[in-house]
Amino acid sequence: MRPQLKNRLLLFAGAMVLGALVAWVFYVQAFGPIHQGKRMRVWVHQLHAENQPQITEAQNVFLSLREAGVPWLARELERGEGSGPTSWIEKALTYFPRRLRSEWSPELGSAPAKARILETIVKLGPAAASAAPAVATCLYSRNYRLTSMAGEALGSIGPAAVPVLRPALHSTNHQARVNALNAARLLHTNSAVLLPDILAAYAIDSNVRPRVALVLSTLSPHADHVLLPLLTTNDVAVAADAAYALAHSRVVSSNFVPVLIDSRNHPDIKFRRYVYLALCNAAAGSRPARHALLDGLEDPNVTIQLDCIHALSMFPREAGDNLDKITPFLSLDNSPLQVAALHVIRAIGTGAAPARAKV
């Protein structure tokens, strides 16, 4: 073969290869997103399936995609429940029998599918921050499971959910307020900026007061200036809510101890128990609170006595100095008080502290 012809053939082959590469790059850039979108729609549709392995597979795909798959999940959450078909294929499938239609193109925007999407968002956590507005729309759903899971999902998203929770706390929809408060509780101290809105929900609806108290219990010390006036009010129900919040707080400031000590002898048993539980939480940092627990051993309510004994087992020194108040419980055969007293005696002997008392 002539050298010139050979060189021309090599040049032509190289040009063909280069042209093929350029064409491939152009194709990927131009049509790649379309194919990717089709694949994403397949995974979204698979979340509507009735076969659990298919659902699990689709959820695992979105969990592996993390932020990249969140817009598709958010778009599906914003779709109205039971909404109609959106593509010509889905419209064509509506002419098929219902059994086949449910297999090929299940009902879009259904509550079970949205619940699965919310489950996926809960697992994604802060990675699904961009879906917060779409998740907030589910707070107003008539489906109880959907609204509950929306609150859990917003709580898992983190600080990005704070702006969308504010309108829900002022909503006239009771269920939306309840689940927004649940989300605020899961946000812990990140929801401190929502404190005025939380108190507004407390004033609007008396039925959400226990949930507001739980939220306030997670905001310590940010909510201390709110809880102290509530604890000293003459309204027993409001004071009980404040005591309930302190009873569920991990740490109670020593500023509350004098007020709690003055409330030990309140005639309302439920309020009195919350007071003693709050003193249990404050006992680690306050000696007066530890001494107040010794007075709780003489309370006529058995549950309060049990709470105080469990709390004293964490403070062997104070319990050992006041052993005469604990030993009478050892004579109560087959009683939880006897078992708790034995734990205290064991703690005094070993210096070990068992787990803190549960509310």
Give residue-wise pLDDT tens across range 9-56.
778 888 888 887 877 666 555 444 434 445 677 777 777 777 778 788
**130 in Cβ contact with 71 (< 8 Å):** yes
Same domain for 230 and 138, yes or no, is no
**199 in Cβ contact with 226 (< 8 Å):** yes
Same domain for 239 and 354, yes or no, is yes
Residue 4 lies in a domain: no
Most confident range (mean pLDDT) of 71-85, 92-106, 195-209, 292-306 is: 292-306
pTM above 0.95, yes or no: no
Residue 186 lies in a domain: no
Same domain for 140 and 239, yes or no, is no
- Under the banding of pLDDT at 50, 70 and 90, the label for residue 107 is very low
Q: How many CB atoms lie within 10 A of CB 95?
A: 7
Same domain for 140 and 264, yes or no, is no
Q: Quote the pLDDT of residue 106.
A: 45
DSSP string of 232-276, one letter each residue: TSS-HHHHHHHHHHHHH-S---GGGHHHHHHTTT-S-HHHHHHHH
Task: Say yes or no to pLDDT of 102 above 70.
Answer: no
Residue 131 lies in a domain: yes
List phi, psi (to 5°) of 65.
-75, -25
Mean pLDDT, residues 141-167 taken together: 86
Same domain for 147 and 234, yes or no, is no
CA–CA distance, 118 with 124 (Å, rounded to integer): 10
Residue 201 lies in a domain: no
Bond before 85 cis per omega within 30 degrees: no
CA–CA distance, 218 with 156 (Å, rounded to integer): 15
Q: How many CB atoms lie within 10 A of CB 246?
A: 30
Residue 205 lies in a domain: no
Task: Say yes or no to pLDDT of 157 above 70.
Answer: yes
Same domain for 225 and 147, yes or no, is no
Q: Quote the pLDDT of residue 80.
A: 59
Cα end-to-end span (Å), the chain: 94
Tokens representing 267 are: 């005639």
Measure CA 242 to chain center.
22
Q: Whose structure tokens read 């107003």?
A: 140
For the segment 223-269, what is each residue's pLDDT rounded down to a tens digit? 778 788 888 888 888 888 888 888 888 778 888 888 888 888 888 88
CATH number of the CATH domain containing 344: 1.25.10.10
**181 in Cβ contact with 150 (< 8 Å):** no
Task: Say yes or no to pLDDT of 358 above 80.
Answer: no
List the alpha helices (DSSP H) in the chain: 3-46, 52-65, 70-78, 88-93, 98-104, 111-124, 132-137, 144-157, 162-169, 174-187, 195-204, 209-218, 224-231, 236-248, 257-262, 269-282, 287-296, 302-312, 316-321, 336-350
How much is the mean pLDDT over the chain? 78
Q: Which residue has the higher pLDDT, 223 or 72?
A: 72
Final residue of a structural domain among 115, 132, 157:
157
Residue 5 lies in a domain: no
Number of domains composing the chain: 2
Residue ranges making up the domain that contains 273: 220-359
Same domain for 225 and 359, yes or no, is yes
Q: Quote the pLDDT of residue 91.
A: 54
* Residues of the chain above pLDDT 90, percent: 0
**139 in Cβ contact with 179 (< 8 Å):** yes
